[in-house]
Amino acid sequence: MNRTGRFEWSLVVLVLLAAAISRSPALIVLATGGLVVGALVWLTGRLALTALETEVTVAPDRLVAGEPLVATVTVTNRKPLPLPWLDLRLFLPDGVESPDASPGMPRGWVNAGFAPRGRERVVLHFPLIARQRGAYAVGPLRLRGSDWLGFLTDERTVAVSVEVVAYPEPLAVRDRHLASLRPLAEVGAKRGLLPDPMRFRGVREHRSGDPRKEIHWKASARLRELQTKLYEPATSLDAVFLVNVASYEQYWIQADPEAVELVVSATADLVRQAASNGRQVGLVTNGLDNLTHERPRSALGRGPRPLMRSLEILARLGPYAANSPETVFLAERGRLPWGATLIVVTPKITSGLAGAMLALRRAHHRVLSVSVHPVPEHIAAHLRARGVVLDVLRPQEMRRAV
């Protein structure tokens, strides 16, 4: 707690001494009044910010960039003494601001002033907007109050940090309907041609023609009816997104932040499309988390949780790369399921990244590359001849979806 201002106790002491020496009634009354005022200033100033409870919430805490949100600050004065005034300031991170902010006005905070009564609870709502995608920490909260006469001012900072994640804005990215690829183009069959005996999925009723070796005897005894084992197909409809944020062979150069934003937004749309089609999705990137400064990844999975995990990674992704894309992507070969489709989303295709895609293609993966910038013709011809499918974002796909 920081305290500013002062009360002139030295003047009160001088008047008190003068009253004791002269025994003048006027000076005695003046000295007594000074003591009363000083005691009031000391007591109310000391209790100004005590028994004040604060709570900060943000709703929604998960949203798409450009959407509004509301920060709610609840201040509860637990003591019976009122405050003559209380100034509250909630600090905002870069990227989150008031929707009414105009040029010349501060954008780094929102504030309010009021006079809470004794045992009163005040709820303040601050409309905000997340201008761009990212992970933000709203806070801290600063409180300023004074004694009843305004001689002393106390200031206290409440260490609150409320996380807000703004997902990338949706673009008008089309689904890639390519007959040779999964999961963005192939229609799932009712029954897989190559079941994988290591990936047990469940049981179903035994049907005529089912092999006896596939009967699940324990489940049959429990249900008192023959049950047949079910397996995941060996060539599953898996989609692993490989996201590159480096624009040049020298990955440590932040070359094209605008292209990185297009990569992140396009990947988010493709992930949503794959998940909505019932595919398993995973994500690997050479980018760094803006808050933790670590390289995140999302394990392969189906359902809302893997989808939200992938979208959060994309929202928190910064423009800096931890390593070259070929180094990161090739290091993931041991974790990739056999036959999975790999969707490489990149600002541009460099020679090193092209070599990594060829290596992944030789490892029996279907590889689709979606690039922001056109692919050089000699690299494109070399990749297409070896089964790597190339695609470039069209100008109409780089606009925000309506």
Mean pLDDT by runs of 10 across the 402 residues of the chain is: 82 86 88 90 90 96 93 96 94 91 79 94 96 91 93 93 91 57 41 55 83 86 87 66 91 81 92 87 92 90 90 91 94 84 93 95 90 93 93 78 52
Q: Are 388 and 365 in contact (CB under 8 A)?
A: no
No. of H helices and E strands in the chain? Answer: 8, 22
Is this prediction's pTM over 0.75?
no
Token digits of residue 307: 């989808």
Give residue 181's pLDDT.
41
C-alpha to C-alpha distance for 344 and 328, rounded to whole angstroms: 12
Q: In what order do the strands lie in the sheet with 96-97?
A: 52-59, 68-77, 121-130, 96-97
State the residue for tokens 């089309």.
Answer: 174
Spatial CB neighbours of 106, under 8 Å, sequence gap ≥ 6: none
Give alpha helix (H) positions in 183-294: 217-223, 257-276
Domains of the chain: 2-46 (no CATH), 52-167 (2.60.40.10), 195-233 (no CATH), 238-398 (3.40.50.410)
C-alpha to C-alpha distance for 265 and 286, rounded to whole angstroms: 16
Task: Identify the bridge partners of residue 381 per DSSP, sorted by sequence position.
Answer: none
Give residue 267's pLDDT.
93
CA distances to 170, 186, 305 from 396, rounded to whole Å, are 13, 25, 30
Task: Identify the bridge partners of residue 342 per DSSP, sorted by sequence position.
Answer: 240, 367
C-alpha to C-alpha distance for 194 and 337, rounded to whole angstroms: 14
Residue (of 57, 83, 91) closest to 144 by Cα position: 83
Give residue 7's pLDDT.
83
Give residue 199's pLDDT.
61
List pLDDT tens digits, range 175-201.
Answer: 654 333 444 434 444 444 456 565 677
Token digits of residue 254: 């932040």
Give residue 23's pLDDT.
86
Token digits of residue 209: 């023609």
